[in-house]
Structure 1
Amino acid sequence: MEAALRRQPAALGPQPIGAGDAITPLSCRLQRTAIERLLEQSPSLRRMLDEEIIERVYGKAVRDAVIDTDLERHLFPVRCPYRLAQILDEDWLPEA
C-alpha cells in the first residue's frame, strides 16, 4: 500500500516551484485511480489508511522528491498539509 501511495507524490500535493516535471491534474487522477483499484481488490487495506500512514508515506515521498529534484528538504512542508479525505477525493486538487 505504501508503495502505491508513494509512487507519485502528486497524490500528496504539489512540489515546490522549480521541481522537475509539473504535476498535472491528470497525474493526480491517475494515481488516485490506482489507489482506488487497490482498495477495491483488497478492501481490508482501507482500514490501514489513516493519518499516521499518510504522514509516514508523505515523509518517504518528500525524501524521494528531494532526491529526484535536487531541491532542499526545507522547501517541503514538514507534515503533509492535506487530510486523507482530500487526498482520496477525486474532485479535489491542491491549490497551486
Structure 2
Amino acid sequence: MTPLETALKTQYETDYLKWIETTLEKLRSRDYDSVDWENLIEEIEDMGRSEQRSLKSNLIVVLVHLLKWQFQPDRRSGSWGGSIVEHRRRIQEAVDDSPSLRPYLESIFDGCYLQAVKQAKAETGLSSETFPQQCPYELVEVMSDEFLPH
C-alpha cells in the first residue's frame, strides 16, 4: 500500500465526512489518481444495498399494519393508519427517485409478506393460522392510498 493509500484509508476510517469531502474535491478536480477507489466503490455498493433494505423494511411495516388492520378490526387505531400512510409514502418516494427499484419491490413482495406474518403474529398474539399463507393483497393495493382491507 502506498503512503497516499494509507493516508486515504486512515481518513476514511477516522473522519468519514472529511473523506467524502476530500473524495468529492478530487473527483471534481479530476485528480483520479488520488481517489480512494476501493472505499468509494464499496460506499456506492452500500448505497444501493441501503436503498433496498429501506424499501424492504418499509414494505414489511405496511404489510404488518394491513394484516393487523384486517385481522384485529376492534383494535384499529390512528397510529396504524398513520403508519400505513407514512411507509407507503416512503416506498413511493424511493421508487419515484429510483424507478429501477420497482422490479426489486416486486421480487421481494412474497418474502416480505412472510416476514410480515411473523411480525404480526408476534405483535398481536394471534396464531399463524389466522393469517393467509399467501398474501391476500396485490402490490398495487398495498401501495394504494385508498386501500384498507376489511
TM-score of the two chains, using structure 1 as the length reference: 0.76
Q: What is the match of residue 32 of structure 1?
A: 88
What 5-or-longer segments of structure 2 have no aligned partner? 1-54
1:70 alignment partner AA: G
Q: What is the match of residue 144 of structure 2?
A: 89
Q: Is the 8 A contact 1:12 1:82 kept in 2?
A: no
| RCO higher in structure (CA 8 A, sep ≥6) | 1
Judged with a 3 Å threshold, the aligned counterparts in structure 2 of structure 1 residues 37 and 13 are, in CA distance, closer, same or farther, namely farther
- Counterpart of 2:122 (choices 47, 67, 75) is 67
Judged with a 3 Å threshold, the aligned counterparts in structure 2 of structure 1 residues 49 and 36 are, in CA distance, closer, same or farther, namely same
1:18, CA displacement in angstroms?
7.3
Pairs aligned (count): 93
2:119 alignment partner AA: D
Residue identity (%): 29
1:38 alignment partner AA: A
Larger Rg: 2
SS in structure 2 at match of 1:4: helix
What 5-or-longer segments of structure 1 have no aligned partner? none
SS in structure 2 at match of 1:59: helix
1:46 alignment partner AA: R
Q: Is the 8 A contact 1:54 1:84 kept in 2?
A: yes
Query: After the TM superposition, which residues 7-22 of structure 1 pair with which residues of structure 2 at under 5 Å, given as runs?
Result: 7-8=61-62, 9-11=64-66, 14-17=69-72, 22=76
- What root-mean-square deviation, in Å, do the aligned CA atoms of Structure 1 and Structure 2 show? 2.5
Question: Larger % of helix: which?
Answer: 2
**Are 2:53 and 1:2 equivalent residues in the alignment?**
no
Name the CA distance, whole Å, in 1 between partners of 2:101 and 2:144.
17
Q: What is the match of residue 43 of structure 1?
A: 99
Name the CA distance, whole Å, in 1 between partners of 2:111 and 2:139.
13
